[in-house]
Structure 1
Amino acid sequence: MPACSTFLLLWRPALHHCQNRIHREGQHKNPQGVFTISAFPTFSKHPQSCVHAKLRENKLMQWGGWMPVRLLAVVLFTILMLEQVALSQNTAFAQANEGRPGTGVIETLIGGGDLLRVSVFGVKDFDVDARVSARGSVSLPLIGDVQLAGLTTDEAQAVIEKRLIDGQFMLRPEVSVFAKEYATQGVSVMGEVQKPGIYPMLGSHGLFDVLSMAGGTTPKSGITVTITHRSRPDDPVQVKLVDVGKSPDANSEILPGDTVFVSKAGIVYVVGDVKNPSGIAIENDSDMTVLKAIAIAGGVNPTAAVSSAKLIRRTSNGPEETSIPLKKILSAKVRDLKLQPEDIIFVPNSAAKSVGRRGLEAALQAATGIAIYRTP
């Protein structure tokens, strides 16, 4: 109990008696013009706790008149107010933090496949490692199968303690449950990362931390990451990695049970008589065009047959070949063409005016064999 509360507990009855006595008797003026009051009423059970006396002029001079009562009232009132302020501040602080995201520890639930360490204080035979079955239960000494899936470790402790008490095995068991492995509570990191897999994780982590666990992204990765939260499987969230530096919110919070999928960037191939034949990584919603792709590939060589350039696009019926007015595009006489992932731009050498069947096969083989990926 706070000191101020103890002080009030001891002195509050005296203050109340003083106030009641003063209120009953009021202020009396004697013939000499002296106020007479009952300042300290006597308690019947504790006669020494305070003194009951009528103060005349000489007593008023000795005690300072109303000063003791006023001083006592002011002191008690001040202490009471300070205590109320402190209580109100603590209550406001508790209410402000109640339910606020990030102020509490994120509880991870037990699931099938998890490995639990269960022990009872003072009972060595009960110290066991138990694997949670697919049905969500574990088999423990004395009490048999116990359903623990969907519970926190604290809740699991309470369930086991109750089973031990109800079975009259122990009077006051002190059970400890520790999750050694969370098989179902890891984060699945899939797609274009160096080491795809399921990574055990407790609590929340940022998206960048999770990607780092998986070794980072591959050169073929796109900038779109799809996050499927365990709590909202029907509402996946897409994040652009390029936005993380601009917006801290893009470094999304990842929780146990979530799935992170890094998209594969679409590849546009520029092959043939260009300075740097290569594959160019683009996003599906990118505005990559023929002119941009040729520029990234270093431009065409002087020996290139620009007017014979072809666009090879993969379809469900196989590759389709389309002529590209590359010469007019380079001179800005016609509108540039937008490219799609897996498109191939083939610029033949001037020695071969037409692509032909062999030229088409050569373009496809060249695109397949390119291992250099460039980003716009």
Structure 2
Amino acid sequence: MSYFKTLLLFILLPLSFASLAQAEDKSADYRLGAGDAIRISVFQNPDLTVESRVADSGIITYPLIGAVQLGDLTLRDAEKAIADKLREGGFVQKPQVNILLTQVRGNQVSVLGLVNRPGRYPIETGNTRLTDMLATAGGAIPDGSDVVIVTGIRDGKPFRKEVDVPALFVSGNSDEDIVVAGGDVIYVHRAPVFYVYGEVQRPGPYRIERGMTVLQALVRGGGLTMRGTERSLRIHRRTADGNLAVIAPEKFDVIQPDDVLHVEESFF
């Protein structure tokens, strides 16, 4: 082997071992859920090698010790739970238990709405956060809202939270990047829009950007035509009681979702 190949091998081997160790750590943090398939083995006890599936109750049945509650335990804690029962029952003096996750079904999160790859995704670690799952689903498409809705169950009660994703990074408020749980549904709705018509270059619906003003909305519509005038702007807006109001806005008023901006023709 040449000098350069030997040098490259010494560089790459530690990196490979580090990546493998990191992957094992993540797998160990995974919490078992209903439907997960596992393979349990005990060192020097081949008769205790079992393939099982976690029941809806979180229980599996294991030789010699019977029913064992493994639901919501990490793989390390599940290994310890089985080892303790084997030792306490006098079946194996110093059991070395290994659990391999062969199929993930229990701890999955559904990502729906305007994302690039909607679907169900497994929770790979015990501290998987909202942004991790959004990244797994390919992120929101351009028409997707910045505010994401998360629903699920927490402490046995229905849970619902709206999270402003860009604000997590702009304001640095990482506490809002919540840890997801099995059974959660992440939904990305369509971004709010406004409508502009009349004497503008490009009438139509447009996405509302943060803090967008009437003047910025006009620019988004391509600006005024030769016959348009800013003096005759009108906004048609639905009020809280469901009635339609017609407003004469100022240029720096903030556009609201579903506003209809009309630019009238100048007669002078």
Give the alignment's TM-score, normalised by structure 1.
0.49
Distance across 2 between alignment mates of 1:319 and 1:219: 31
Distance 1:317 1:236, change over 3 A: closer
Alpha-carbon distance in structure 2 between the residues aligned to 1:298 and 1:316: 30
Residue in structure 2 matched with residue 265 of structure 1 by the alignment: 191
Preserved CA contact (<8 Å) 1:188 1:197: yes
Determine which of 52, 56, 62 is the counterpart of 1:140: 62
Q: Secondary structure at the match of 1:145?
A: strand
Conserved 8 A contact 1:240-1:250: no
Distance 1:206 1:173 in 2: 35
* C-alpha contact 1:310 1:321 (8 A) present in aligned 2: no
Letter in 2 for 1:280: Y
1:311 corresponds to: 235
**SS of 1:110's equivalent?**
coil
SS of residue paired to 1:292: helix
Aligned to 1:223: 146
Which has the larger Rg? 1
- Of Structure 1 and Structure 2, the greater strand share is in 2
RMSD: 4.3
Cα shift readout 1:310-357 (whole Å, capped 9, x = no counterpart): 4333468867262647xxx5xxxxx75443201122346689xxxxxx
2:94 aligned with 1:178, yes or no? no
Tell me by how many angstroms 1:132 deviates.
1.2
- Maintained 8 Å contact 2:150/2:160: no
- 1:295 paired with 2:219, answer yes
> Aligned letter for 2:144?
S
* Mean CA deviation greater in 261-270 or 225-234: 225-234
Match of residue 342 from structure 1: 258
Query: What is the SS of the residue equivalent to 1:109?
Result: coil
Amino acid at match of 2:40: V
Output the CA distance in 1 between the equivalents of 2:135 and 2:111: 10
Query: What is the Cα deviation at residue 138 of structure 1?
Result: 1.2
Q: Structure 1 counterpart of 2:101, which letter?
A: A
CA contact (8 A) 2:196 2:262 kept: yes
* CA displacement 1:107-138 (0-9 Å, x = unmatched): 33323232222223345454333221111111
Using a 3 Å threshold, how does the CA distance of structure 1 residues 316 and 251 change in structure 2: closer, same or farther?
Answer: closer
Whole-angstrom CA distance in 2 between matches of 1:148 and 1:250: 31
Of the two structures, which has the highest relative contact order with CA contacts closer than 8 Å and spacing of 6 or more? 2
TM-aligned CA distance change 1:272 to 1:140, over 3 Å: farther
Secondary structure of 2:29's counterpart equals coil
Structure with bigger helix share is 1
Q: Distance in 2 between matches of 1:336 and 1:308?
A: 15
Correspondence list, 1:127-166, <5 A: 127-164=49-86
1:243-299 C-alpha deviation (Å, 9 max, x unpaired):
62x56664976645286555643211112331112333226xx43333321122112
Tell me by how many angstroms 1:302 deviates.
2.2
Q: How does 1:90-129 map to 2 (within 5 A)?
A: 107-129=29-51
Per-residue displacement from partner, 1:18-60 (whole Å, max 9, x unpaired)?
xxxxxxxxxxxxxxxxxxxxxxxxxxxxxxxxxxxxxxxxxxx
Equivalent residue number for residue 211 of structure 1: 134
1:199 aligns with one of 121, 124, 130 = 121
% identity of equivalent residues:
32
Structure 2 distance, partners of 1:148, 1:293, is: 56
Residue segments in structure 2 that go unaligned for 5+ positions in a row: 1-24
Q: Matches of residues 359-370 of structure 1 in structure 2 within 5 Å?
A: none
The question of 1:280 aligning with 2:190 is answered no
Structure 2 distance, partners of 1:310, 1:152, is 60
The unaligned stretches of length 5 or more in structure 1 are 1-103, 330-334, 352-376
CA offsets, 1:59-107, max 9 Å, x none? xxxxxxxxxxxxxxxxxxxxxxxxxxxxxxxxxxxxxxxxxxxxx9883
Change (3 A) 1:138 1:196: same
Give the Å deviation of 1:238.
Answer: 4.1
